[in-house]
Structures are given as C-alpha cells and as structure tokens.
Amino acid sequence: MAVLGTSYAFAQERTLYWGSSNPDVSLLQQQLKNWGYYRARVDGVFGNATQQAVINFQRLNGLVPDGVVGASTWSALGYSPGENVSYHESVGVSRGVTNRDEIYLLARVIEGEAANEPFAGKVAVGAVILNRLRSALFPHTLAGVIYQPHAFESVANGQYNRPASQESLQAAAMSMNGWDPTGGALYFWNPAKAISPWVWTKNIISQIGRHIFAR
C-alpha cells in the first residue's frame, strides 16, 4: 500500500447496493457528490439517498438504472479494477488541512488511538482532532493540536509512530472531508482505561465503538 499520496487498490469487484456499509460506499458517495448527484452526508452507508443518486447517475449515463453499483457503474464513475485510488485526489480535503504530510499525521494518530475501532470510530477520532482546530480552546494548527502535551495517549507513548493502516488513511480523508460521526465532539476516551475524573464533567454526546465522545 502506498502512503502519500495515500492510495489503495480499489476493490471494483465489490458490488454495492442498498444496505451496503463499508469504505467503498464512502468513496462512491463522494464521487457522486463531486459530480452533483448526491447531496447528503458522506457516511459510508448505502441508503435511500445513495440509491437514488446512483439511479439518477445510471439513467443519465446510459446504464441500467437499477441502483446497484457493479463493474459498469464503477467504470462510468471513473474507476478501473485494481486501480490505485488516491484519497487526497478522490476526497476533497477541507477545514484548511491540505498538506499531504498532515493527512498522514492525522492518520497515524487515528491508528494509534483507534486501530481496533470500527471505521466510524476511526473517522470520529479524526473529527475530534479537526474540531479542536476550530475551537478557541485549542491550538489552531494540526501539529499544535496533536502535539499539545498530554492531549493524546498514542502520541505520549509513541504508538502513533507505527504505520497507518489503509482504513486509518481513509478515515483521515473522510474526517477532513467533513464527516463527523460525533456531532461536534472535542473529547473522547475509553472508559475501560484509567482516566482523569474531569472528563466525566464534559457533555457526553455519543459512544462509538469503545470510545465515548463529548464536548
């Protein structure tokens, strides 16, 4: 797997349809969004809005409008079997974070903090870090947020230095594109670990995987 520009071999053999939920659905949604067919949130879940966007795309591109994304629809979307899809190129990066080194830095922290969490949990950790960029309570650079003393356990213990997985790289891209499963959280923690009691004074929003998210 390439690191940066952050690519992976696109799994075009994976047919997508209503009810699918995986990183390829996020890629599909983003491409449809880029081309004006999809206006909902990029969330990696193939629901009614995604299906309708696919049908509209298929109808206007001479494909059978069945709402199923197979080889012909992937090809019409610009992807070929085995193609290396660049996260940086296929997913529009926002929030003022565009440097490829910063994308990988975010992915490394996601890997360190949430390697064993579900995909949405990885995106959520990235979203918390990016939410801090916009808060007056935290530094206003990605490096400043990440290296703030005692901010992240994986930075303090060096776990973030291990290579980022494919899923962590895509989670970084999805969070930079604006997907925030937490709803604006600034903090997260695993209640099974020893933590400072002050975190429980925060306004808890949700739990994703084993992490609690709060603001």
Helix (H) or strand (E) segment spanning residue 204: strand 204-208
Question: Which residues of the chain have a pLDDT value below 70?
Answer: 1-13, 80-99
The total number of structural domains that make up the chain = 2
Last residue of one domain, picked from the residues 36, 67, 90: 90
**Pair 73, 14 in one domain:** yes
Here the CATH number for the domain that contains residue 163 is 1.10.10.2520
**Pair 80, 115 in one domain:** no
In a domain, 31, yes or no: yes
**Pair 70, 106 in one domain:** no
Q: What is the pTM of this model?
A: 0.59
**Pair 113, 202 in one domain:** yes
**Pair 85, 111 in one domain:** no
The residue range of the domain holding 59 is 7-90
**Pair 112, 24 in one domain:** no
Single-letter amino acid, residue 212? I
pLDDT at 81: 52
Helix (H) or strand (E) segment spanning residue 155: helix 153-156
**32: exposed, middle or buried (C-beta count within 10 Å: 0-12, 13-18, 19+)?**
buried
CA distance 111 to 25: 21
In a domain, 2, yes or no: no
Contact, 215 vs 205, CB < 8 A? yes
Half-sphere exposure of 70 (CA within 13 A, CB side): 7
In a domain, 150, yes or no: yes
How are beta strands 84-86 and 7-9 bridged, if at all? antiparallel
pLDDT at 30: 83
**Pair 54, 128 in one domain:** no
Quote the tokens at residue 134. Answer: 């916009």
Here the CATH number for the domain that contains residue 58 is 1.10.101.10
pLDDT at 80: 59
pLDDT at 161: 87
In a domain, 40, yes or no: yes
**Pair 172, 110 in one domain:** yes
